[in-house]
């Protein structure tokens, strides 16, 4: 059952009936910048998606929330099992930070090891529903690998466009999933334009974030899960790393829906975290100005976005929730990687560790207070970026093979 009833442009506010205009990508008045919200019939959803429904539901994946997805299908067992990732109640990191309660959502345990699986899963389901056999995107990162994985599992063909400088590890994942992988001799802008031209000409389904409105309806499931895993009593804060703004916008949407459905007790304050090497949202927030294109100088490649494509949804997430923006240095990100790993056993890639670094910084600044509760979203697995893992990790102790030599090192205390 598809409860979507319309689209609403995030720029001009125009509304469009669902289905009347076919499948819409962006606003017909505002063009490509007119990113759409999908509007749902919450009064109908409210009757279906109740606490008792969720208690009975045995589908422990993001597909348990299909009532909140703009999809016609009723069974998603043939897709990758995305979501229902662990939410850990922290003991050691909480004590280290000196706050009342801390939870860590480990989205790096998704099938292709990042939160982006949630968006790609919904995109692939929608592509199949609409009769496409091919789906395409341009990206160097987790969006691309998640799309390639979900599409392979569902039997869709993919064309993935990456800039030629894309790191080898990410190429490996894409190629193993059988993507038609095109390394474009040019920068990301040229790559995006080529993908756009090919998608337009060949009529492939478009999984470019910041264009396709169904993607956010997948990503928001991370918030729906957090709410349910917390038994609908949410933490004061939820911290999330921010690149182009799609994920933070989706996280807010999920919490807002849980609240509007009468399931969650409130909407948490959202802490948007960027790297100081690339923080257009933080700069704009602090100076009270519009976003300005910035350089992309950070190890956190997944959030290194100098010109965010989803500014409206991102700013709405922080403003609407009463949260704030904060930036952290690469050194703080590496320190947060070590902290998450050594105190919680969660290995997060740099962009995913930024949210934890932001929480540390926000506590130091007094933005988060000691009697408050916090959830940190880790968006991707550290195995995605072993090079920076090693930068954070330091070195092993080298030792000759004797007990005497071992004891002389002083490692055993």
Please, which of residues 100-139 interact with a copy of itself by CB under 8 A? 106, 109-113
The Cβ-side half-sphere exposure at 4, using a 13 Å CA radius, reads 26
The CA distance from 376 to 236, in Å, is 11
- On the 0-12 / 13-18 / 19+ scale of CB atoms within 10 A, 194 is middle
Q: For the window 18-47, what string marks contact with a copy of itself as x by the rule CB under 8 A?
A: ------------------------------
Stretch that binds a copy of itself, among 162-170, 240-248, 253-261, 280-288 (CB under 8 A): 162-170
Strands in 56-133 per DSSP E? 87-89, 101-106
Residue 405: strand, helix, or coil: helix
Q: Is 383 in the site for a copy of itself (CB under 8 A)?
A: yes
Q: Is 53 in the site for a copy of itself (CB under 8 A)?
A: no
Cβ-based nearer residue to a copy of itself, 285 or 347: 347
The residues facing 304 across adjacent strands are none
Q: Is 394 in the site for a copy of itself (CB under 8 A)?
A: yes
The Cβ-side half-sphere exposure at 350, using a 13 Å CA radius, reads 28
Stretch that binds a copy of itself, among 30-38, 265-273, 289-297, 376-384 (CB under 8 A): 376-384
Q: Is 402 in the site for a copy of itself (CB under 8 A)?
A: yes
Cβ-based nearer residue to a copy of itself, 30 or 182: 182
Stretch that binds a copy of itself, among 290-298, 300-308, 360-368, 390-398 (CB under 8 A): 390-398
Binding to a copy of itself (CB under 8 A): which residues in 175-204? 175-178, 180-186, 190-191, 193-194, 197-198, 201-202
Cβ-based nearer residue to a copy of itself, 192 or 255: 192
Q: Is 50 in the site for a copy of itself (CB under 8 A)?
A: no
Rule CB under 8 A: choose which of 142, 173, 206, 310 binds a copy of itself: 173
For the bound state, the minimum distance from the C-beta of residue 110 to a copy of itself, rounded and expressed in Å, comes to 7
The residues facing 205 across adjacent strands are 135
Rule CB under 8 A: choose which of 81, 129, 263, 372 binds a copy of itself: 81
The Cβ-side half-sphere exposure at 228, using a 13 Å CA radius, reads 27
The CA distance from 356 to 237, in Å, is 12
CB-CB contact of 309 with 210 (8 Å): yes
Stretch that binds a copy of itself, among 259-267, 292-300, 337-345, 371-379 (CB under 8 A): 337-345
Using CA atoms, how far residue 139 sits from 158, 194, 359, in Å, is: 13, 12, 28
Q: Is 60 in the site for a copy of itself (CB under 8 A)?
A: yes
Q: Is 84 in the site for a copy of itself (CB under 8 A)?
A: yes
CB-CB contact of 145 with 172 (8 Å): no
Q: Is 54 in the site for a copy of itself (CB under 8 A)?
A: no
Q: What's the length of the chain?
A: 413
Q: Is 153 in the site for a copy of itself (CB under 8 A)?
A: yes
User: Among 154, 137, 159, 152, which Cα is nearest to 215's?
Assistant: 137
Q: Is 16 in the site for a copy of itself (CB under 8 A)?
A: no
How far from the centroid of its chain's Cα atoms is residue 187's Cα? 23
The residues facing 278 across adjacent strands are 275
Q: Is 342 in the site for a copy of itself (CB under 8 A)?
A: yes
Cβ-based nearer residue to a copy of itself, 26 or 150: 150
Q: Is 75 in the site for a copy of itself (CB under 8 A)?
A: no
Exposed e or buried b for every residue in 50-81, given b needs 16+ CB within 10 A?
Answer: eeeeeeeeeeebbbbbbbbbbbebeebeebbb
Rule CB under 8 A: choose which of 337, 354, 356, 362 binds a copy of itself: 337
Rule CB under 8 A: choose which of 4, 49, 97, 162 binds a copy of itself: 162
């Amino acid at each position: 059952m598809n409860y979507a009833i319309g689209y609403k442009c995030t720029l001009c506010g125009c509304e469009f009936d669902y289905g009347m205009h076919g499948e819409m990508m962006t606003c017909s008045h505002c063009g490509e910048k007119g990113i759409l919200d999908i509007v749902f019939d919450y009064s109908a959803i409210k009757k279906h998606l109740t606490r008792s429904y969720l208690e009975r539901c045995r589908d422990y994946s993001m597909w348990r929330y299909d009532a909140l997805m703009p999809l016609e299908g009723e069974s998603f067992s043939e897709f990758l099992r995305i979501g229902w990732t662990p939410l850990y109640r922290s003991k050691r990191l909480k004590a280290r930070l000196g706050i009342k309660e801390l939870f860590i959502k480990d989205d790096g345990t998704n099938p292709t090891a990042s939160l982006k699986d949630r968006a790609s899963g919904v995109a692939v389901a929608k592509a199949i529903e609409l009769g496409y056999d091919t789906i395409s995107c341009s990206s160097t990162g987790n969006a691309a690998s998640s799309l390639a994985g979900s599409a392979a599992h569902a039997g869709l063909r993919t064309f993935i466009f990456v800039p030629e400088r894309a790191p080898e590890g990410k190429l490996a994942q894409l190629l193993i999933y059988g993507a038609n992988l095109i390394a474009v001799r040019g920068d990301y802008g040229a790559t995006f334009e080529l993908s756009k031209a090919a998608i337009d000409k060949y009529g492939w389904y478009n999984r470019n974030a910041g264009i396709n409105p169904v993607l956010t309806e997948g990503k928001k499931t991370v918030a729906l899960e957090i709410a349910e895993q917390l038994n609908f009593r949410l933490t004061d804060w939820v911290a999330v790393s921010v690149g182009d703004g799609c994920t933070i916008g989706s996280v807010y949407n999920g919490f807002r829906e849980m609240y509007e459905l009468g399931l969650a007790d409130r909407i948490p304050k959202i802490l948007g975290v960027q790297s100081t090497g690339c923080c257009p949202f933080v700069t704009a927030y602090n100076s009270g100005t519009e976003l300005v294109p910035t350089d992309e100088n950070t190890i956190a490649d997944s959030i290194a976005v100098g010109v965010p494509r989803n500014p409206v949804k991102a700013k709405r997430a922080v403003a609407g929730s009463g949260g704030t923006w904060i930036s952290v240095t690469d050194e703080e990100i590496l320190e947060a990687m070590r902290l998450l790993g050594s105190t919680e056993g969660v290995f997060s890639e740099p962009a995913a560790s930024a949210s934890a670094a932001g929480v540390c910084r926000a506590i130091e600044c007094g933005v988060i207070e000691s009697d408050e509760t916090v959830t940190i979203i880790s968006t991707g697995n550290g195995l995605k970026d072993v090079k920076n893992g090693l930068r954070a990790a330091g070195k092993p102790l080298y030792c000759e093979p004797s007990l005497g030599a071992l004891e002389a090192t002083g490692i055993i205390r």
